[in-house]
Amino acid sequence: MKSRLCCLASIIVIFLSIPGRASSADLGTQTRIEHVCSETSDYKLCQAVLGKNLYTSIADFDALTQICLSNILMYISDTLTFIKDAERNETNTRQREILADCDEGYGSMLTQFENAAFKFAKGDYKSMLSEIVDIKRYVTQCETALGNKLSELQKRNVDAKVFIEMFNASGKLIGHQF
Ligand SMILES: *[C@@H]1O[C@H](CO)[C@@H](O)[C@H](O)[C@H]1NC(C)=O
Ligand SMILES: *[C@@H]1O[C@H](CO)[C@@H](O)[C@H](O)[C@H]1NC(C)=O
């Protein structure tokens, strides 16, 4: 089950990530990026991710959402790998339990974002967004369990929330003309 989910995610990521050919955004695209990023808790991180992954100088909200989606899918997959490594290294039982909780939460997020990716591919943007309505709670649960331990995972949790916000903000604006 787990490995099937992993490979499905990889396939989606491959489909969604177009080989990066950096272009500078035109004025309309810059405005759209500003709009999306102003709805997130880390404007600079958001702008850096979108800027780095633009493959044409003109990107509508559909194209920006696609970037947000492949970014979050890759980030969750990477974080799952990180958590599993940390679990393997951990000798303390209580710490392993905490990591197992984070592992489960990120696993659920991956499944929900994969579902969102299928809805995106079908052009069903409303269902796409409803797939991730409650998704931040998995990050919050991991943060609470973790407390002040494992700063690398703390940092990953903070960034994961920004990436979720980006996808949500951009997805909502698909079809808007500005
Ligand atoms: C786990 O241990 C290996 C080998 O010591 C180390 O390279 C790796 O960074 C550790 N991973 C984590 C997440 O702590
Ligand atoms: C998505 O945006 C809506 C409207 O701004 C907000 O109510 C909701 O909490 C956001 N969802 C996530 C997962 O950030």
Average confidence (pLDDT) over 115-138: 96
Report the distance separating Cα 122 and Cα 98, nearest Å: 37
Segment among 14-28, 69-83, 116-130 with least mean pLDDT? 14-28
Average confidence (pLDDT) over 72-84: 97
- The pLDDT of residue 5: 55
Structure confidence by residue, pLDDT tens digits, 138-154: 999 999 999 999 999 99
Angle at 25 between CA 65 and CA 115, to 5 degrees: 10
DSSP letter string, 58-86: ---HHHHHHHHHHHHHHHHHHHHHHHHHH
Report the distance separating Cα 126 and Cα 57, nearest Å: 27
Place of tokens 């989910």: 5
- The pLDDT of residue 25: 82
- The pLDDT of residue 18: 53
Q: Is residue 33 predicted with pLDDT exceeding 80?
A: yes
Measured from the Cα of 89, ligand 1's closest atom is 1
Measured from the Cα of 165, ligand 2's closest atom is 14
- The pLDDT of residue 111: 97
- The pLDDT of residue 176: 85
Considering every ligand atom, which ligand is closest to the CA of 89?
A: 1
Measured from the Cα of 152, ligand 1's closest atom is 13
Per CATH, the number for 24-172 is: 1.20.140.40
Quick one: which of 164, 137, 149, 144 has its CA closest to 86?
A: 149
For the chain, give every domain's residue range.
24-172
- The pLDDT of residue 88: 95
Average confidence (pLDDT) over 168-178: 91
**Ligand 1 center to residue 85 CA distance, Å?**
6
**Ligand 2 center to residue 60 CA distance, Å?**
20
Average confidence (pLDDT) over 28-47: 96
User: What residue's CA is closest to ligand 2, atom 8?
Assistant: 133
